[in-house]
Amino acid sequence: MSVIQRVVKPTTRKGKKVLLSREPQVIEGPKRTLFLQGRKASVKVRNLLNDLYDIKKPDARKLSKKNDITIFENVVPLEELCRKNETPLFVFGSHNKKRPDNIVFGRMYDYSLLDMIELGIESYNGFHEFSNSKISLGTKPCLIFSGPEWEQTDELKHLKSIFVDMFHREYVENVRLQGLEHVISFTFADGKILLRSYKVLLKKSGCSTPRIELDEIGPRIDFAIRRNKLPSEDLMKEASRKPKELKKTVKKNIIVDGLGTTHGRIHIGKQNVGKLQTRKMKGLKKTTQEKTLDKLRKRKSMDSEDHEIRKKIKRTDFY
Amino acid sequence: MDLIADILENRLQEQAKFKPITVEKHLELDYDLGTLLCVDKNELDSGLLSKNKEDYVQNLTRDNVQLLMNQIWSLPTEKVDDVVVVKLPKPTYILPRAKRVPKPKPPTKWQEYAKLKGIQKKKKSKLSWDEQLQKWLPLYGFKRAQAARDKDWLLEVPQNADPLEDQFAKKFEVKSERVAKNELQRLRNIAKSKNVKVPRMGLLNPDVSSAKDLQTAVTVTKSSTASIGKFQSSLPKEKEARGVAAITPGASRKRKAAPVSSEVEKTESLNAIDYVLNKKPKIDIEKAVNRRINEEQQRRSEENTSMSTSRKPKAGRKGRKCNSSSSSKKPKSGKGQRKGGSSGRKRR
């Protein structure tokens, strides 16, 4: 007999609300990101974490203290931190002799690790090194992936998925056209990942679609790929399952035409024409002779059935 | 004519400065307008990339963004509060969820019962008018306890009741009992939904318990000591409750033997008798021989000792008796067998 889990009722209304908000939802809000550093972090790594935190800002949490954890050896403390801060995404920065300027991008599913990929910073220019005008906080960026390799290896596919998950912010229905002002581009070239961030300038072109000019706002980072931990196919499938409620069920045989009237199609079984009641007429009535004949025929058929049954019984007796 | 040619030339020069809206790509790009995502699968130009990386990447991105914007601008637009807003389609790029898909909560015991009986929840208003106090009283929550105190400041002692009994204390106790019962049912529902086996409770309510309940309670309480009821004395002819053993650690599990037919009993007892009567003494030859040899050896040694007491031991043969097979050389290192495994230093 296992020990029963202690089930504590929330004492305050606010506490109840918090607990309810932590329960799994059918439609999830934007994923929050946790930024944290390991035992040691170089200036480069810290600046990069700050810059990424600025890009992610309302949906992010930054831990300022150092953490004595090595996530590729033991991921449990990180999972605990992510559970505590309610952050399914994380960016972990560290620096040591073997892996200098190290950054790990990863995400959680159901408070346990889904996948993570370790990247090394090859070169880095921060936000503040670009003197151009900045973008407003919380804009939904356009994400551009260039290079054929993004679709070729498993690792890069996952990295792309992680990047999209981290930077796409949230699903929106409507977007202000003037608000499309930020572009993050990921280019895979010579085994390196080039992360660039631009401001979009919409210029007049003479037609309705504007001409695009870009203005780099930073950060400008070149990453090299290091270790990774990818999920099994089953886990990934389970994680990207769509809830039943959101699945569209197509209703058959209902059509709405251009005018907005609905048409339905109904299927009915085959009609038995032989039993159709037609108009009764005296001339078609059965005579008494015919009736007796019918009765006799019926009895005969019954008798023959009886006979067969008797035969069967006899056979079974014999055995 | 010169003027027109000039204007046209100027126009061409101006256009050459800027990049066009249309971009030509070898392969079509993949768009996901819902997430504002664009994937360019075209090969990069390695020559240009090595020559001037930043410019090349910026130009490439510009072209891709231009293509993405062309797509977005072709979507239907709306005007909301003097701002042109574009309606994005549903995203097609699938991202994993943060948490599991929520499961429907399993119904409580009451909900199951209510569904079976077709009982539907009635909505009660939170406030109700009280004639006695001439006030709106809340059904629960804020100011509810005060209202109850105001209303029942005096309690009637019922007939046939002990006049010295504190009716307020009694009322309080009844209520706390109700609350406890509710909590118990809540926990039981949770345990049921999580498929946890719960140990049998002692006595729930002494007023409405049957003899069977009491017996279970006695059995459970007796086994609720630190030594699971091993040192608890029992009354003469005391019986243990039935059906408790599976969930109470202390309770003994008695199993009745199946009834035996007379024939089987007869054959079994006959077999037993035969087995006893047909027993033969066993002779272990080896043991007997050994015993015999031992006796003879003892006798011989006795004879020897009686002979040797008359003789003196030899003086010269005093030294050590070394085992001839063992050599006197020191063992040398590096000649033994290794324990296996990988050779060399352990590298990390």
pTM (two decimals): 0.67
* CA-closest candidate to residue A189, choices B81, B45, B120: B45
Exposed/middle/buried for B221, CB within 10 Å: 0-12, 13-18, 19+?
middle
Residue B50, H or E segment: helix B46-51
Any B CB within 8 A of A147 CB = yes
Nearest by CB to A198, from B61, B88, B190: name it: B61
Question: DSSP characters for A70-115?
Answer: -TTT--HHHHHHHHHHT-SEEEEEE--SSS-SEEEEEEEETTEEEE
What b/e string do you get for B8-46 counting C-beta neighbours within 10 Å, with b at 16 or more? eeeeeeeeeeebebeeeeeeebebbbbbbbbbbbbebee
CATH of the domain at A54: 3.40.50.10480
- End residue of a domain, out of B199, B219, B235: B199
Domain range for B284: 266-299
Chain B neighbors of A11, CB-CB under 8 A: none
In three-state secondary structure terms, A25 is coil
Position B312 pLDDT exceeds 60 = no
Question: Do the Cβ atoms of B65 and A236 come within 8 Å?
Answer: no
B222 is a domain residue: no
Positive or negative, the Cα torsion across B84, B89, B95, B99? positive
Banded pLDDT at B184 (limits 50, 70, 90): confident
In the block, tokens 């089987």 appear at B264
Which residues, given as ranges, of chain A have pLDDT below 50? 1-5
Q: What share of chain B is helix, strand, coil (3-state, %, to 5)?
A: 40, 5, 50
**Contact predicate A217/A136, CB 8 Å:** no
Which pairs count as long-range contacts for A169-172, CB under 8 Å and 24+ apart, including other chains?
A169/A30, A169/A59, A169/A138, A169/A140, A169/A141, A170/A29, A170/A30, A170/A59, A170/A140, A171/B34, A171/B35, A171/B91, A172/A140, A172/B88
Position B225 pLDDT exceeds 70 = yes
CA–CA dist A120, A105 (Å, integer)? 11
A280 in the Ramachandran plot: left (φ > 0), alpha (ψ -120 to 50) or beta? beta
B25 is a domain residue: yes
A75 is a domain residue: yes
Domain range for A95: 30-232
CA–CA dist B80, B83 (Å, integer)? 5
Backbone angles phi, psi at A53, to 5 degrees: -65, -40
B143 is a domain residue: no
Interval B76-102: pLDDT, tens: 999 888 888 999 999 999 999 999 999
Banded pLDDT at B319 (limits 50, 70, 90): very low
Interface of A with B in 252-271 (CB under 8 A): none
B66 is a domain residue: yes
Question: Do the Cβ atoms of B39 and A145 come within 8 Å?
Answer: yes
Question: Do the Cβ atoms of A146 and B34 come within 8 Å?
Answer: no
Interval A272-299: pLDDT, tens: 888 888 888 888 788 888 889 999 998 8
| pLDDT score recorded for residue A103 | 96
CA–CA dist B6, A57 (Å, integer)? 53
B31 is a domain residue: yes
| pLDDT score recorded for residue B238 | 84
| pLDDT score recorded for residue B322 | 45
Structural domains in chain B (count):
3
Structural domains in chain A (count):
1
What b/e string do you get for B103-126 counting C-beta neighbours within 10 Å, with b at 16 or more? eeeeebeeeeeeeeeeeeeeeeee
Q: How many CB atoms lie within 10 A of CB A189?
A: 20
A169 is a domain residue: yes
Contacts of A219 (CB under 8 A, 6+ apart): A48, A51, A52, A124, A125, A126, A127, A195, A197
B interface test, pick of A79, A143, A144, A235 with most B CB neighbours within 10 Å:
A144
Position B125 pLDDT exceeds 80 = yes
Q: For residues B188 and B272, which has the higher predicted lDDT (pLDDT)?
A: B272
Any A CB within 8 A of B100 CB = yes
CA–CA dist B145, B139 (Å, integer)? 10
| pLDDT score recorded for residue B341 | 57
Q: Strand A174-176 and strand B83-87: pairing?
A: antiparallel
Nearest by CB to A28, from B72, B98, B194: name it: B98
B261 is a domain residue: no
| pLDDT score recorded for residue A4 | 41
| pLDDT score recorded for residue A68 | 95
Find the distance separating the first CA and the last CA of chain A, reported in whole Å.
56
Interface of B with A in 13-42 (CB under 8 A): 18-21, 34-42
B66: DSSP letter: H
Region B280-296 average pLDDT: 90
B interface test, pick of A109, A209, A241, A245 with most B CB neighbours within 10 Å:
A209
Interface of A with B in 205-234 (CB under 8 A): 205, 207-214, 216, 220
Q: Strand A112-125 and strand A89-94: pairing?
A: unpaired
Beta strand extents in chain B (DSSP E only): 30-32, 37-40, 77-80, 83-87, 127-130, 135-138
B181 is a domain residue: yes
